[in-house]
Amino acid sequence: MSKLIVVIQCDKVVHRCSGFACARAFYQRTGKFQDYAEDARYMSMSCGGCCGADVAAKLGHLKRKLAAAPDFGSAEDIVVHLSSCITSVNFHHGPCPFKNYLVKLIEGKGLSAVEGTYVSKKAEAKRAQGIYKEF
Ligand code: SF4
Ligand code: SF4
């Protein structure tokens, strides 16, 4: 079955962001999605709020659902991305202080974690100029 790309969004940011830029980057195969095949599929979920512990439960739920629905794929098809607003300082602030914990939770579920999604040229420039600074 084709890859199932799961984007984890910051629960704080998701109250203000539709996830448009992440989805567009996926469908246009840009940013951190550039190497995926045309038939790769997309889903997104929030981290569930600080400290992100709910990610383990959500990914566990997804794996169980896939195990019961092999027509939709299997756990081997899942690749989890942490959204760029989690992994880097940006308009919404970030990076998430629990980022490494989130990676451990994902890997603890036997899944691979990729850092980043949509890559904003504007945000990259502001980081380089020191306008966006980490806490
Ligand atoms: S990276 Fe951008 S588009 Fe994606 S969830 Fe974060 S703020 Fe929204
Ligand atoms: S744990 Fe990180 S990603 Fe999740 S809501 Fe808190 S700051 Fe956002």
What is the structure's pLDDT at 64?
98
Q: Over the stretch 54-112, which tens digit does the pLDDT of each residue have?
A: 999 999 999 999 999 999 999 999 999 999 999 998 888 779 999 999 999 999 999 99
Could you state, in order of their start, the residue ranges of all structural domains in the chain?
4-77+94-118
Average pLDDT over all residues of the chain: 95
Which pLDDT score is estimated for 108? Answer: 98
For residue 26, report the distance from its CA to the centre of ligand 2, in Å.
Answer: 22
Residue with the smallest CA separation from ligand 1 atom 7 is 85
Q: DSSP letters of 25-91?
A: HHHTT-GGGTTS-TT-EEEEEE--STT-THHHHHHHHHHHHHHT-GGG--GGGEEEEE-HHHHS-BT
Ligand 2: nearest atom to the Cα of 86: 3
| Rounded CA separation 77/59 (Å) | 13
The pLDDT score that the predictor gives to residue 90 is 83
Residue 2: helix, strand or coil by DSSP?
coil
The Å distance, Cα 86 to ligand 2 centre, comes to 7
Over 80: is that where the pLDDT of 135 sits? no
The protein residue with its alpha carbon nearest to ligand 2, atom 1, reads: 50
Per-residue b or e along 22-48, where b marks 16 or more CB atoms closer than 10 Å to that residue's CB: bbebbeeeebbbeebeeebebebbbbe
Place 47 in a pLDDT band, splitting at 50, 70 and 90.
Answer: very high
For 112, phi then psi, to 5°, come to -90, 145
Confidence at residue 34, expressed as pLDDT on a 0 to 100 scale = 98
Lowest mean pLDDT among 20-24, 92-96, 114-118, 121-125: 92-96
8 CB near ligand 2 (under 6 Å): no
Testing ligand 2's pocket by substitution, the residue of 7, 12, 105 carrying the most ligand atoms inside 8 A of its CB is 12
